Amino acid sequence: MLLLLLLLLLLLLLLLLLLLLLLLLLLLLLLLLLLLLLLLLLLLLLLLLLLLLLLLLLLLLLLLLLLLLLLLLLLLLLLLLLLLLLLLLLLLLLLLLLLLLLLLLHHYTTTTTTTTPPLHHHYNNTTTTTTTTTTTTTTTTTTTTTTTTTTTTVHNDKKRIHTMPATTTYSPYRGACMFYKQPLFCKNFLLQWRWYNLCFFFASIFQVLQ
């Protein structure tokens, strides 16, 4: 009987050991499952990090694209500004050319159109002298009366005094022209003076542009 009891006890112990082993195995399996779950979580986290990195890269790419677009817009604006400046310069040059043409037209009109006052003619009076001589001769038979009339007419030459026509242009050299009283000399002198002024005007414009 005792042997039987001992055997039973041994069996029970064996069963208990088996159960313990099973439990240990189950625990090990659970641990393995937990480890697998942790690994999966880590993988998911890594994937999320990769996705975040990709998103950041995409955001960076988008920012770079936006910067490039802004640079292109700035370049377009600069080109438009340069075009506007060129147009303004062309307009200024056209205005300067128009002003120069107006100055030249004014110059030619003032040099060609001159006011000529009426010429003063001084005429000396003509003097006419008449001399009458009467001679009477008396004789016994006939009486002869002789009348001699001599007329002397003196015509003086016409003397015309021409005054110099006053030009419409006024310059500091007009006094010299009036002193010499030579129209051709005065006209050439005034033309040279005006061309000198035009050259000085061009030189001042180029200095301002530089």
**The pLDDT value given to residue 156:** 45
pLDDT of residue 198: 67
Are 119 and 165 contacting, i.e. CB atoms less than 8 angstroms apart? no
Which tops the pLDDT comparison, 73 or 136?
73
pLDDT at 106: 79
Query: What pLDDT band is residue 180 in, cutting at 50, 70 and 90?
Result: very low
CB neighbour class for 91 (10 Å; exposed up to 12, middle 13-18, buried from 19): exposed
Instruction: Give per-residue pLDDT as tens, 134-165.
Output: 444 444 444 444 544 444 444 444 444 444 44
How open is the CA angle 38-44-50, to the nearest 5 degrees?
140
| Tens digits of residue pLDDT in 93-122 | 999 999 988 888 877 776 554 444 444 444
Round to whole Å and give the CA distance between 198 and 192: 10
Residue 110, token pair as written in the block: 């003032």
Helix, strand, coil percentages (3-state) for the chain, rounded to 5, are 70, 15, 15
Closest CA to 1 of 14, 16, 9, 15: 9
Between the alpha carbon of residue 63 and those of residues 2, 17, 66, 67, 76, the distances in Å are 89, 67, 5, 6, 20
Q: Residue 127: CB partners within 8 Å, gap ≥ 6?
A: 153, 154
pLDDT digits (tens, 9 = 90+) for 5-59: 788 888 888 888 999 999 999 999 999 999 999 999 999 999 999 999 999 999 9
**Would you state the pLDDT for residue 196?**
60
Give the separation between CA 43 and CA 115, rounded to whole angstroms: 108
